[in-house]
Structure 1
Amino acid sequence: MDEMPSRTNLATGIPSSKVKYSRLSSTDDGYIDFQFKKSPPKIPYKAFALATGLFWISTFLIIVGSLLLSGYISKVGVDQAVPVLIIGILVFLLEFYHLRIAFYAFKGYHGYSDDDIPDFDD
């Protein structure tokens, strides 16, 4: 009779006849608490810096567009002042929205987190 070679555990090199097994507890459902813990969010500093910079540029464009429209800076026509004002207002609204989310996330308001702000992948 040929004897069958005993199986070994490849990871440890221990023959399977020497491995001791134990039953899992009846309350164990196969999950561990650690897998459900949320890692702390990565703060998107680049996105905050870009939003802040664009906010100040748009504020400057609104001021310049208003002064051009009123004729305080120079006597340009409405056709040159209105586009500056419109671009300033559009960028201002977008960046105000992003900065508001960033502020609420920083203060820890319920429903806001740093995950709501897109980050630039390095």
Structure 2
Amino acid sequence: MVYFNSCQNTTMMPTRNSPASAAGVKYSRLADSDEGYIDLQFKKTPPKVPYKAIALATFLFLVGSLLIIVGSLLLAGYIHVMYPDRTIPVLIIGILIFLPGFYHLRIAYYASKGYRGYSYDDIPDFDD
């Protein structure tokens, strides 16, 4: 009668001392006490600043501000126009562009100053 060892596998599993298991993996020594917590799990990573999103927010803020100023001058009559019915849409588009730019710039400013409740994580990031 022939017995086969079901635990025998042709592929080698990496062991603790093999270089395959240590490639790119950071290990830390466990504490001697049995509390179940280690200091490394409470370590906070530094915040990643979303520069592209802040640049887009700055662009939206500036273009929206420009459109609001031009729309206000058109509506007040300081700039003479041939079709006065086109002044209101310029003002509305300016407000719609200005608001998200201002909102995200405000979050970025408060996060950079370290105010409680504001973080760069609140700004959508474009790193795909």
State the superposition RMSD in angstroms.
2.3
1:102 paired with 2:108, answer yes
Could you say which residue in structure 2 is the equivalent of 1:55?
A: 61
Q: How many residues align?
A: 103
Superposed, 1:3-82 pairs within 5 Å as 11=15, 12=17, 25=32, 27-82=33-88
User: Percent identity of the aligned residues?
Assistant: 67
Asked whether the equivalents of residues 48 and 102 of structure 1 are also in contact (C-alpha less than 8 Å), the reply is: yes
Taking the aligned partners of 1:78 and 1:44, their CA distance within structure 2 comes to 41
TM-score when normalising by structure 1 = 0.73
Give the 3-state SS of the residue equivalent to 2:102 in structure 1: helix
TM-score when normalising by structure 2 = 0.70
In the TM superposition, what whole-angstrom CA distance separates every residue of 1:19-62 from its partner, at most 9, and x where no partner exists? xxxxx95x313332112212111100111111011100011101
Asked whether the equivalents of residues 60 and 100 of structure 2 are also in contact (C-alpha less than 8 Å), the reply is: no
Asked whether the equivalents of residues 69 and 77 of structure 1 are also in contact (C-alpha less than 8 Å), the reply is: no
Ranges in structure 2 where 5+ consecutive residues have no aligned partner: 1-13, 19-30
Q: Which runs of 4+ in 1 moved over 3 A?
A: none
Q: What letter matches 1:120 in structure 2? A: F
C-alpha displacement at 1:92, in angstroms? 1.2
